[in-house]
Amino acid sequence: MDSNQKIPHVVVIGGGYAGLYACQRLSRAARKGEIRLTVITKENFHIWHGFIGEMLTGRILPTQILSPVRRIFKDATLHIGIVRRIDLSNKTIQTIREIDGRSMELTYDKLIVTVGSKQNSESFQGLAEHGFALKTWDDCYQLKNHILRMYELASITSDPTERKAMLTFFVAGGGFSGSEVAGELADFARQLARKDFPGLNPEEVEVFLAHPQETILPELFGTRVDARQSKQFPGLVAYAERHLKKLGVTIRTNIRIQAVSRNLVVLSDGTRVPTRTVISAVGTIPQKMTNESGFPLAPNGRILVDRTLRVHGYENVWAAGDCAAVEHPKGGYVPTTAWWGMMTGQTAGANVIRQLHGKTQKKFSKTGLGQAVSIGRRTAVGELWGVPLRGTFAWIMWRLVLYFYFPFSDRKIRLLVDWALWPLMGRDIVEMSTDDTDDFEIRRVKFQPGEKIVSGGQTGHSIYLIKDGNCSVFEGNGHEHKLIKTLSVGDKIVLNELDGQASEVVANTLVQAIELRDDQLSELEQVLELLRKKG
């Protein structure tokens, strides 16, 4: 390259699967000095979702599914930040630092957008407040700790109703992610009761899998399969359903979740499932930034790209992965899964290099490798190049595929060690909670009509400040209850003040509240009073 010629600055937004494979194609050019390569990502790690089920149930340690992006993207400049805005006209990107919100600006000559998607927290009422998603590392890590906490609390709880709720794990969504987690949790229950929690009976544990369609696993059979892209495998789905039920999973299809609260799930047929654990695998939606940065969008809300993955109307911008509406060579759009993200990212990166060298852009031509899902107890179902696989052989084959694509050799070795050790040493059952009792925490909570907010003279350190709705406070013993008062917007429920005076507090309507600890209320009231005086 001419020394007087400006070196093009190529920026990749996103450190996920698509960003990873885009950078692999760009690394050689970066090493040769043909481009300056920058990767913008929120975290300094890459999460491998293929082994989430094994991490949640202690087969492998939590950090084994993480790879350090500073080593993965060693040929790039790493920019840790959150993308706030992309100015396509001026070729600038505004990022903010998560620690304090301070903004920074980068310029680019060529841009690859791989921002992925986010959990659809509006799928049903209460999900954002009370559901555990499977999308981000923080979500999965918190869920692992929560599952173990429920077992620990259930082992010392004598109230059968409360104990049952703690040992009921509700999975919303019967696709690959939901079915995998349901199967692993059911198998985990058997392992825990036998080895680590002798006071618990595995029969007490219920894993509930709810799906809105006719069958689970729509990736293999049903509405999410495009017949032009892939065969349908009703036999594999039937096999998976039988296997999950054998493990103890309760499967409900043709059912929707109406609402979720801290203590229960309300289904579309009116069924109420008491549970302290709701795991959401209901799907994803485009990132907010995708809609706000002026990209042309396809009907599905993803960035509109041509067959070369170049964004419509922009010569120097490409998009890949979950955020891009990439046309499948046989029709429709490619699925939003890891393998397709990697392949589309690879094509986008290659086309940036082709443009730099004055070559014609290459169309995306991958038609698929296969797909599979582990469903517990060393069993999987799936297809490889259209050939159906099931059972232990399918589980081994799919593990090998996931292991082959795992992005960092260091973690590959650690995975092998964990896989060799857990059958001998047992699963990881350490709850690594990061909660700090000195933190000032405020949580949003929702209670459904008829739900008990406080029951049986319950005490505790929580206070609920009611934002919307109303509830009734009752006192009494046995079957005789007397209405004491009704609480509404602006009132507070102080658990310790109810002790000895009331037996229960029941929501009359949907109650939305703010929860905080009673020792922090006075501090909050002092601050609010100061603000009122200033105003």
Query: Using one digit for the tens of pLDDT, what is the confidence trace for 140-161?
Result: 999 999 999 999 999 999 889 9
Closest CA to 40 of 86, 92, 83: 83
Query: Using one digit for the tens of pLDDT, what is the confidence trace for 295-326?
Result: 999 998 999 999 999 999 999 999 999 999 99
More confident residue, 459 or 464: 464
For a pLDDT cut of 70, what percent of the chain falls above it?
94
Give the pLDDT score at 490.
92
Query: Could you tell me the pLDDT band of residue 1, with boundaries at 50, 70 and 90?
Result: very low
Given a cut of 70, whether residue 451 has pLDDT beyond it is: yes
Query: Using one digit for the tens of pLDDT, what is the confidence trace for 236-279?
Result: 999 999 999 999 999 999 999 999 998 999 999 999 999 999 99
Give the pLDDT score at 434.
62
pLDDT averaged over every residue in the chain:
90
The owner of tokens 């599914």 is 65
Beta-carbon-side half-sphere exposure of residue 406 (alpha carbons within 13 Å) = 23
* Residue 183 φ then ψ, to 5°: -65, -45
Within 150-248, strands assigned E span 168-172, 206-210
Give the pLDDT score at 437.
55
* Residue 386 φ then ψ, to 5°: 85, 0
Of 172-186, 215-229, 243-257, 393-407, minimum mean pLDDT range:
215-229
Structure tokens at 491: 């009132």
Q: What is the Cα 167 distance to its own chain's centre?
A: 21
Query: Using one digit for the tens of pLDDT, what is the confidence trace for 14-55?
Result: 999 999 999 999 999 999 999 999 999 999 999 999 999 999
Structure tokens at 202: 């595995």
The owner of tokens 């920026």 is 11
HEC sequence for 233-299: CHHHHHHHHHHHHHHCEEEECCCCEEEECCCEEEECCCCEEECCEEEECCCEEECHHHHHCCCCECC
Asked if 303 and 311 touch (Cβ cutoff 8 Å), the reply is yes
Given a cut of 60, whether residue 4 has pLDDT beyond it is: no
- Give the start-to-end residue ranges of the domains of the chain: 9-42+81-116+287-356, 127-284+371-406+419-425, 443-534
Give the pLDDT score at 435.
60
DSSP string, 63-121: GGGEEEHHHHTTTSEEEESEEEEEETTTTEEEEE-TTT--EEEEE-SEEEE---EEE-T
CATH class of segment(s) 443-534: mainly beta
Nearest 5 degrees, angle CA 468-CA 471-CA 474?
160
- What pTM value is reported for the model? 0.90
Give the pLDDT score at 346.
97
Give the pLDDT score at 226.
56
Query: Using one digit for the tens of pLDDT, what is the confidence trace for 338-363?
Result: 999 999 999 999 999 999 999 999 99
SS3 content of the chain, % helix, strand, coil (to 5): 35, 30, 40
Q: CA–CA separation, 26 vs 501, rounded Å?
A: 69
Give the pLDDT score at 240.
98
Q: CA–CA separation, 387 vs 385, rounded Å?
A: 6
DSSP string, 20-67: HHHHHHHHHHHHTTS-EEEEEESSSEEE-GGGHHHHHTTSS-GGGGEE
Fold of 9-42+81-116+287-356: FAD/NAD(P)-binding domain (3.50.50)
Same fold, 9-42+81-116+287-356 and 127-284+371-406+419-425: yes
Asked if 159 and 474 touch (Cβ cutoff 8 Å), the reply is no
Query: Could you tell me the pLDDT band of residue 501, with boundaries at 50, 70 and 90?
Result: low
Query: Using one digit for the tens of pLDDT, what is the confidence trace for 328-337?
Result: 988 889 988 8
Contacts of 63 (CB under 8 A, 6+ apart): none
Fold of 127-284+371-406+419-425: FAD/NAD(P)-binding domain (3.50.50)
Structure tokens at 449: 């009509």
Asked if 353 and 25 touch (Cβ cutoff 8 Å), the reply is yes
Mean pLDDT of 42-71: 93
Q: CA–CA separation, 467 vs 514, rounded Å?
A: 7
Helix (H) or strand (E) segment spanning residue 137:
helix 137-154
Query: Could you tell me the pLDDT band of residue 3, with boundaries at 50, 70 and 90?
Result: very low
Closest CA to 53 of 184, 205, 234, 208: 184
Q: CA–CA separation, 241 vs 379, rounded Å?
A: 12
Mean pLDDT of 426-444: 77
Structure tokens at 506: 């029941």
Given a cut of 80, whether residue 5 has pLDDT beyond it is: no
Q: Regarding beta strands 504-507 and 452-455, do their DSSP bridges make them parallel or antiparallel, or are they unpaired?
A: antiparallel
Largest CA distance in the chain: 90
Nearest 5 degrees, angle CA 435-CA 436-CA 437?
115
Query: Could you tell me the pLDDT band of residue 424, with boundaries at 50, 70 and 90?
Result: confident
Given a cut of 50, whether residue 520 has pLDDT beyond it is: yes
Give the pLDDT score at 11.
98
Q: CA–CA separation, 79 vs 73, rounded Å?
A: 11
